[in-house]
Amino acid sequence: MGPLSLKTLSPQVKQYLVITGNYWAFTLTDGALRMLVVLYFHQLGYSPLNIAMLFLFYEIFGVVTNLVGGWLGARLGLNKTMNIGLALQIIALAMLAVPNELLTIVYVMFAQALSGIAKDLNKMSAKSSIKLLVPEGAEGKLYQWVAVLTGSKNTLKGIGFFLGGVLLTILGFSGAVTLMSALLAFVWLFSLWMLKEDLGKAKNKPKFSEIFSKSPPINLLSAARLFLFGARDVWFVVALPVFLAASFGWDHWWVGGFMASWVIGYGIVQSFAPYFTGKKQGRVPSGKAAFTWAVYLALIPILIALALHFDFYIQSTILIGLLIFGAIFAINSSLHSYLIVSYADRDGVSLDVGFYYMANAMGRLIGTVLSGWLYQQYGLAACLWVSALFVSTAALISMKLPRNS
């Protein structure tokens, strides 16, 4: 069989490739914007809790968007939800390209709300599409496709973090968001032209009351996801970049570079997660794997927090420890991403995926607020202890997941 060309691909797969490309472009701007906001407002003298508040609407609207977005995707098709998301991100970026005196907390929170809606419309559209492109029963291929999409997205988000630090240094805040808004507008116009298939539209129009999942495995997995992502963001979103800048004296390049390296490595490990969880033996993961890997993960923040308490090579311990946390977290996240797509119903898949990512967004919301408050009140060690508690809770919930693949 000769090399695969675009002409030999089915219309649905071509559509999926366009959706994935859009998702990647969006992810670069999302990662860069997050780093720009954290570093720029820290530079302006905002407290860690105030910086966390800037992301409050971003996360709250992510929760709402995943619920409503899954329903919209099932009724309208995933092409329309993708294009709406891209348009909202362009508006959010353009809103931030104003003079400094207009960048009040409330104004930035509102712009971040639009960005949060945009991001979750994009994520829900991309992840829901995979279920429809893999034949029923091909669970190994489904796991691999989900892992590659999730991993590549996070690698690009990491590059976005680095890009945010670089653009802030070279162009300043306003110049950086203006450039990103213009580049994303080109992607949006291409998307309007190319996305024509109503991929993901449900045969039976779901009622709005159906946005809440009635499937016990999906409810359990969603609860575990909430605590898993709360465990990451409780130290990652605000506490870590501010700690690196304040305690180690790192500049924007170094902070952005380290955060970028973490997320890029995290994305690469996610892409190869199937090889760590039994692919060579022909197995696909079950709920048991989600429990086992969560137990491994819970040990890492405990060890880092103990090192901080005993003043044991703090800089080396934090940097190496968080890289290890990132690798094991990536496998946990990839397992979850596969399980939700596997558990989801094919007709109206975006309803189940949307509900699950609502829990994901709720975990990020809780983690973000706690990240600013805990760090300001008690320091990085407290963030790590809460992280360990959250991962342990995710492990306990995962024990109830179906044990068969």
List, run by run, the mean pLDDT of 10-residue segments along the chain (405 residues): 51 70 86 87 82 81 77 73 88 89 84 87 74 62 70 80 86 90 90 68 56 72 92 87 84 79 82 69 70 93 91 87 89 83 64 78 88 89 94 93 69
Output the six-digit token pair for 124: 């829900």
The phi and psi torsions of 346 (rounded to 5 degrees) equal -65, -40
Alpha-carbon torsion, ordered 59, 244, 297, 369, to 10 deg: -30
Cα gap 202→198, rounded to integer Å: 10
Cα gap 76→171, rounded to integer Å: 39
pTM for this predicted structure: 0.73
Output the six-digit token pair for 190: 């291409």
Q: Are 253 and 169 in contact (CB under 8 A)?
A: yes
**pLDDT reported for residue 182:** 92
Sheet strands (E) in 59-192 = none
**pLDDT reported for residue 1:** 38
Judged on CB neighbours under 10 Å (0-12, 13-18, 19+), 396 is middle
**pLDDT reported for residue 389:** 96
Helix or strand or coil: residue 349?
A: helix
Name, in order, each residue with C-beta under 8 angstroms of 249's C-beta and a sequence gap of 6 or more.
Answer: none
Domain architecture of the chain: domains with CATH:
11-398 (1.20.1250.20)
Cα gap 93→181, rounded to integer Å: 5
**pLDDT reported for residue 139:** 59
Closest-CA residue to 64 (of 202, 206, 211, 210): 211
Cα gap 334→143, rounded to integer Å: 8
